[in-house]
A and B are shown apart, each in its own frame.
Chain A
Amino acid sequence: MQATKLRLNLAVYLIFIACILLAPMFLEEFALNRLAKFLVFGMLGVAIALSWGYAGILNLGQGLFFGLGAYMLGMSLKLASPTSMAQGSDTPVPDFMLWNAEPGSKTDLCCINGGSWLWIPFQSHWFGILMGMALPTLVAFGLGTVVFRKRIAGVFVSVITLACVLLVRLLIVDAQPLTNGWNGLTDLGVLTIGETEFDPYSATTYYLVAISLSVTLILGRLLTETRSGMILQAIRDDYNRARYLGFEVSSFQVFFFCASALIAGYAGMLYVIVAEFASPSFMELSFSITMVVWAAVGGRGSLIGACIGALLINVIETSVSETPALVEAWKVIIGLIFVLVVLFMPQGIAGLASSVTDRALERFSGRAARLRQADSQHQPAE
């Protein structure tokens, strides 16, 4: 029965992946771009499920990693924008840096204002991409090492992550000359790797997102099936028991916290490509909480469940936003959904699907056993 369930689980993954890969055949540009955004959110759902569902770490600041990833690639794309080349310099300079330039300084990234030299390596798209993955992971490593070595757990981790995302958002807003503050990075160029241009409305970009999500789902699921993945779930259930069985508890927590941050950072980069902006709003508390709601509704105990939860809520939100009367009420609706799910469906849609499958399998195997029994009773008579 366990094997049957694993096979069904695999089938769900394959069907989902097939669906998102076939979607371009049925959707036009605008809808495709919107779906790509939703898939990015689905990837965030996976990141939350990995840390919350599997590691028991409720990160209320996942937006920090998403935002860092977004800004890193956003910087590269800002430099690739035509306006950055039209500021009266041979090298690209973001327009907002001129508005915030130090009086009398040269129009160049080296010295237009304090710290602008940090932007120099981002002229290479590869550097932006590399940093978009490395920075969130390194920040998670630093934060995780302090928190989990100190054996901080439960709600305290949530409070610390929440404080961190707000702190970084404040820093970014405050560093106006470097980050364009509240406005974020807009008017971005198109990501170009080799000969390939990733135009946000092209099928190429959609496939980039869809394939990235598929790979994340598969690798993530494989990761949870490793011995480390099992030990991680054991730590979630009882970290003391795991520690006295001889496991270095904090190393597992830090590793999966980093993995979750890496996925979120990568999702942030994809979002910048698809949505063409990076903004401090990515690090607002409400966005990080929204991600948690997606995972809760879809089922935090399942990577694909959380992913589908994110897609589902966004699809509903989009259709609701076409009815003006419901736009204002949306926050109430989503809040209500969250409360209902927590109260009546703690394992979300995935949990519901799992228990329905269990019951069906039990009934099926029960019937099969009865049939076999009936067969063996008939045989002597023949």
Chain B
Amino acid sequence: MTVAALTLDGLGVAFAGFKAVDGVSIIIEEGELRVVLGANGAGKTTLMDLISGKTRNTSGRVFLYDTDITHWQEHQIARAGIGRKFQIPSVFRELSVRRNLEVASFETPGVFSNLSLRQTAASKRRVEEALELTGLGPQADRLAGGLSHGQTQWLELGMLITQNPKILLLDEPTAGMTQAETHKTTEILNALRGKHTIIVVEHDMAFVREVARRITVMHLGQVLAEGDIKTIEKDERVKQAYLGSKGIM
């Protein structure tokens, strides 16, 4: 039997009357890799903002497994197990790559519980694992600000991995990447598949073809269609709204 890892129940937000996300209900199963597609302005990033607590929803609820996390603070949602990667890669530029991962691996949220010079063995181990997974080992002592665009994206991904989140929210993880970099990102994601529940917002169709099993298509703030890649390709409304008449690729 499958377990629902993330349940969105009629989630919506209105900005001065404009409904950016309108009554979205999605159930994502544990271990699933779900791709969210949609044209610009379809509400994909806003949906991620609602889940991660960046934007407060005006209707509906969010459940992480059985816990209602609606209206929790951002750091509480993160601690509950939802890791968010931003569209514009954000890392700590003045710190070394290793230090970035170390900071991400610290286990408590407040200032007093972190007033210690020690790092736990588990935290050190997760940093090493993340360096290996992302292949950033040779750059470990360099400042994060000096990394290439692709490396920065992998570092941010690595930071999320050290937290061992239940759910990964990835906003366009291959944006601005070369073909080779996109390919490596695909490999990283495939390595994570099954261990984490992953939700990816993405435009790159080659990437979507490589990783996607199940796709949710959004349009004007609502769910337009949901299904595997073949079903989506055949869906007339999706063709009209987003893909044009040529289909995926």
Q: Are A238 and B116 in contact (CB under 8 A)?
A: no
Q: Is A246 an interface residue (CB 8 A)?
A: yes
- Rounded to whole angstroms, the CA-CA distance of A223 and B119 in the bound complex is 14
Contact with B along A1-20 (1 / 0, CB 8 A): 11000000000000000000
Contact A246 B163 (CB under 8 A): yes
B149 surroundings in chain A (CB, below 8 A): none
**Contact assessment for B110 and A233 in the assembled complex, using a CB-CB cutoff below 8 Å:** no
Is B203 close to A, CB under 8 A?
A: no
For window 83-119 of B, CB contacts with A under 8 Å fall at: 83-84, 86, 90-95, 99-100, 102-104, 106, 109-112, 114-119
A237 on the interface (CB 8 Å rule)?
Answer: yes
The answer to whether A2 touches B141, judged by C-beta atoms less than 8 angstroms apart, is yes
With A230-B103, A231-B106: A246-B78 Cβ-Cβ less than 8 Å:
yes
Q: Does residue B226 face the partner (Cβ distance < 8 Å to A)?
A: no
Is A236 an interface residue when CB atoms closer than 8 A count as contact? Answer: yes
Task: Flag whether A374 is at the interface (Cβ < 8 A).
Answer: no
Given A233-B94, A234-B103, A246-B109; A228-B115 close (CB under 8 Å): yes
| Chain A contact residues, majority secondary structure | helix
Chain A interface residue number, banded: 20 to 34
Chain B residues with CB under 8 A of A236: 94
In whole Å, how far is B114's beta carbon from the nearest beta carbon of chain A?
Answer: 4
Give the distance in Å from the alpha carbon of A236 to the alpha carbon of B118 in the complex. 22
Q: Is the CB of A244 within 8 A of B117?
A: no
Asked if A225 is at the interface of the complex by the 8 Å CB criterion, the answer is yes
Contact A234 B111 (CB under 8 A): no
Query: B residues within 8 A CB of A251?
Result: 110-111
Q: B156 — which chain A residues lie within 8 A by C-beta?
A: 241
State whether the Cβ of B74 lies closer than 8 Å to any Cβ in chain A. yes
Q: List residues of chain B with CB within 8 A of the CB of A287.
A: none
Would you call A248 and B52 a contact (CB within 8 A)? Answer: no
State whether B92 touches A233 (Cβ < 8 A).
yes
Say yes or no: A245-B163 contact (C-beta < 8 A), given A231-B103, A234-B92.
yes
A126 within 8 A of B: no
Which residues on the A side are within 8 Å of B110 (C-beta)?
248, 251
Q: A227-B114, A245-B103 are in contact. Are A238 and B93 (CB under 8 A)?
A: yes
B114 touches A238 (CB 8 A): no
Among candidates B76, B111, B118, residue contacting A252 with C-beta atoms closer than 8 Å: B111
Interface assignment of B237: CB less than 8 Å from any CB of chain A: no
Of the candidates A223, A230, A245, A252, the one having the most CB atoms from chain B within 10 angstroms of its own CB is A245
The 3 closest A-B pairs by CB, nearest first: A246-B78, A237-B92, A227-B114
Q: Besides A236-B94, A244-B52, 20 other CB < 8 A contacts?
A: A1-B141, A2-B141, A226-B117, A227-B118, A231-B106, A231-B114, A233-B92, A234-B92, A237-B94, A240-B90, A241-B91, A241-B92, A243-B75, A244-B83, A245-B83, A247-B109, A248-B109, A249-B75, A251-B110, A255-B112
Q: Which residues of A contact B (CB under 8 A)?
A: 1-2, 222-223, 225-228, 230-231, 233-234, 236-238, 240-249, 251-252, 254-255
Q: What are 16 A-B contacts defined by CB distance under 8 Å?
A: A1-B141, A227-B115, A230-B95, A233-B94, A233-B95, A240-B90, A241-B86, A241-B92, A241-B159, A245-B159, A246-B79, A247-B75, A247-B106, A247-B109, A248-B75, A252-B111
